Copies of this chain bind each other. A is one copy, B any other.
Amino acid sequence: MTIGAMERSSATPGGRTRREATRQKLYEAAVTLIAEQGFSATTVDEIAERAGVAKGTVYYNFASKSVLFEELLRHGVGLLTASLKEAAERTAREGGSRVEALDAMVRAGLVFIDRYPAFTQLYVAELWRTNRAWQSTLMVVRQEAVAVVEGVLREGVANGEFSEEIDVPLTAAALVGMVLVAALDWKSFQPERSLDDVHAALSRLLQGRVSGRP
């Protein structure tokens, strides 16, 4: 049946199919609307209108409103995870310590949120909900991101750089939360501040240079 059907459509010069471009537009429209209003309060008509396509096109490209949302989640968290991994690996390659790796990941997180604030907003808003259709997708995808941080913490414990007493999963969650919330606050309430500024404040907190010493 629809097997040999794909070739004809890789038309556009950029190598990108028409369909992919439409899906991208729909992602972009959906992410800001859902971040602002929430999933249920956002209508498919709004998404279509903002993307500049007809409502039918949404359903031509996605099976349903929630499938669109689920794929959006996967897509977004994929970007974040890749970026965190890249930061950790780059630090390792350059012979940095685990603290430096953590710091690099904090920065990578901030850069991500700086670039995709709406996605971050939406992610946080949905993460701890229960009884929702995409709950399991969300769990999987969350674990991928947190696992990267846990990995660095464990390596640090192994080589003696971190105390053996730290609780790896909990500390990883707390670190992710710290960055997430601080960054959302930055974007919402003091957007004029620079990324470096925010990064410096979090570094200080991370390295315990808040109380006491230089």
Contacts and interface: CB of A to CB of B under 8 A. Distances in A.
A211 B207 contact: yes
Contacts of A165: 204
B163 A210 contact: yes
Contacts of A41: 39-40
| Count of chain copies | 2
Chain A interface size band reads 35 or more
Interface stretch (A16-24, A70-78, A84-92, A121-129): A121-129
Given A36-B130, A40-B40, A125-B129, A210 B166 contact: yes
Given A37-B129, A39-B40, 18 more contacts: A36-B131, A38-B40, A121-B128, A125-B126, A125-B129, A128-B184, A163-B210, A166-B201, A166-B210, A170-B185, A170-B198, A170-B202, A171-B210, A174-B179, A174-B205, A175-B178, A177-B178, A208-B209
8 contacts: A36-B131, A128-B184, A166-B201, A166-B210, A169-B189, A177-B180, A177-B185, A180-B181
Interface of A: 35-41, 99, 121, 124-132, 156, 161-163, 165-167, 169-171, 173-182, 184-186, 188-190, 193, 197-198, 200-202, 204-205, 207-214
